[in-house]
Amino acid sequence: MKKNVIKLSFSFLALSYFSLTFGQVDKSVLNWYNGKGAGMQTEKAYKKLKNKPTTTVIVAVIDSGIDIEHQDLEGKIWVNAKEIPGNGIDDDKNGYIDDIHGWNFLGNPSGQNQNDACLEKTRIYKKLRNKYDDIEASEVKSTDIAEYELFIKVKKEVREEKDQYDQILQQMDQLPMILSVIPGMVETVIGKKEYTLKDLENWKPSDEQNMQIKQMAIAMKTGELSLDVINEQKAQLQSMLEYNLNVEFNDREFIGDDPYDFNDTKYGNNDVEGPDALHGTHVGGIIGAIRGNNLGGDGVATDIKLMSLRAVPNGDEQDKDIALAIRYAVDNGAMIINMSFGKGYSPNQKEVYEAFQYADSKGVLLVHAAGNDAANVDINDNYPTSMYSFQTEKLDHFLTIGASTRFPKEKLAADFSNYGQTKVDVFAPGHDIYNSVPQSEYKKLNGTSMAAPMVAGVAAMLKSYFPKLSMLEIKEIMLKTATSYKGSKQILPGSSDLTDFAKLSVTGSVINVYAAVKSCMTLEASK
């Protein structure tokens, strides 16, 4: 699922909602991720690489789709030179007709596209309800106990989540009234009608209620909380109830395949943008938006081509779509695959893992977002994963990325980011990231979805400048040269507790492009 969870909590209103946008960008966040401090030192790295030649690297983006006509992605979109556009023939005989820029696994040959989808737990509930809804636990066959327990678990989760969002929608109806009285409450306390953001930041409330008023006032002043934002969140919550958590919704209606039959591959179309490419376009821009043109944020890599593989809907992705997209990417020349998606259940784990093994055997780097539940993925399921229960060892070419911020003192790990001392490899910027969205526009987004393409972009940049290095060597260099924050006390995502940053990932570090470039130069010289 491609949305990010943001939580606000107040004594008179508690709400948890999905959000992707946060008002207008300001100069303090523009390209921060490429700079110094908590950034990746990308600009410094490019100075080190001045006049060094490059080779083009193909990066596959498995996501919601990419606006291939975006002004900041001009010249950055992969073109399948073996395919003749629009002739209705599979010229390169790869199984996909007119796949000029990639493939859309969420459509049909007639051009219809699926946008909304169920969560995986909703699909499981729907699939098993006729078998188990009307029987008691004592009636279940011993061979079906595990399946029955899964059914009970997902049924409970779906129903509880629906109830939760129904309540939140009712609470959100109160927000416009609350927003209208906040300015007057602030004026009463601080004695200024025309107060500034600095005035709010300098205000030191002495009680919990005024602290919550301050939080809301700051959110209103920065544009993070407004009537437009509220309406957007309400629409997203309504969509979750109507589609994501609705067991009656057929999320393969237009596609028409059997999502559990991995031999049923004759589906999809070549519309690689689809109806909602915001997420994928932002991811693609982070990897390779044109640098230095003063349009939005700069991409990390320069000499790249983005292959768009539309497989992530507004809901949970299907395992089959992901497995086929990975194989497509590998077979069509991608050296790096960005995967900014994830879910709590995966019915076809082995098929996805086999696709990962295929990519691994071909030396293709898989970069996966850790997820946005502020959870420890060492103990909480989040799929796909670097280590399935049936695996004996990790794949060589797989990275899981947590999201870092531009605030290295105690708030380096984004408050929404998943973490894990064994299953998350490294952190990268994923907070306040301003980059491309459809229709040649730009927005600031948060999420590990933004952190993963930072690393995919770094890997592509390094491979472009150092083509003789293998992706495994590049992966190891990125991890080895990342800036260590071991010993640094940071707020644990999802809590107010402090923890050693070393406990949040394998490396306890944040990606550093400049250090990686220096290491690549040394290794290249030794070959």
Residue 27: what pLDDT?
73
**pLDDT tens sequence for the chain (527 residues):** 544 333 333 333 333 323 344 445 667 789 999 999 999 999 999 999 999 999 999 999 999 999 999 999 999 999 999 999 999 999 999 999 999 999 999 999 999 999 999 999 999 999 999 999 999 999 999 999 999 999 999 999 999 999 999 999 998 888 899 899 999 999 999 999 999 999 999 999 988 889 989 999 998 998 888 898 889 889 989 999 999 999 999 999 999 999 999 999 999 999 999 999 999 999 999 999 999 999 999 999 999 999 999 999 999 999 999 999 999 999 999 999 999 999 999 999 999 999 999 999 999 999 999 999 999 999 999 999 999 999 999 999 999 999 999 999 999 999 999 999 999 999 999 999 999 999 999 999 999 999 999 999 999 999 999 999 999 999 999 999 999 999 999 999 999 999 999 999 999 999 999 999 999 999 999 98
Sequence letter at residue 285: G
Burial class (CB in 10 A: 0-12, 13-18, 19+), 298: buried
CA atoms within 13 A on the CB side of 331: 17
Q: How far is CA 307 from CA 60, 234, 325, 374, in A?
A: 4, 33, 11, 30
Q: Which residues contact 84 (CB under 8 A, 6 or more apart)?
A: 91, 98
Q: Are 1 and 316 in contact (CB under 8 A)?
A: yes
φ, ψ (nearest 5 deg) of residue 103: -150, 150
Rg (CA), the chain: 23
Residues 6+ apart with CB under 8 A from 92: 80, 82, 83
With CA atoms as reference, report the closest residue to 326 among 378, 395, 427. Answer: 395
Distance CA 309, CA 273 (A): 9
CA-closest candidate to residue 316, choices 66, 121, 65: 121
SS (H, E, C) 102-123: EEECCECCCCCECCECCCHHHH
The span from the CA of 318 to the CA of 123, in Å, is 10
Alpha helix locations (H) across 89-247? Answer: 120-132, 145-172, 175-190, 197-202, 208-222, 227-239
The two three-digit tokens of residue 483, written as one number: 């800036």
| DSSP secondary structure letters along 231-263 | HHHHHHHHHIIIIIT-TT--TTTTT-S-TT-TT
Yes or no: is domain 21-117+257-526 CATH 3.40.630.10? no
In the chain, domain spans: 21-117+257-526, 121-250
Residue with tokens 């509220």: 230
* DSSP conformation letters of 470-483: -HHHHHHHHHHHSE
Q: Which amino acid is it at 366? A: L
H helices, E strands: number in the chain: 13, 15
What DSSP designation does 142 have?
A: G
**What are the residue ranges of helices labelled H in 332-421?**
349-361
- Cβ atoms of residues 71 and 233 within 8 Å: no
Q: Of 114, 116, 424, 73, nearest to 282 (Cα)? A: 73
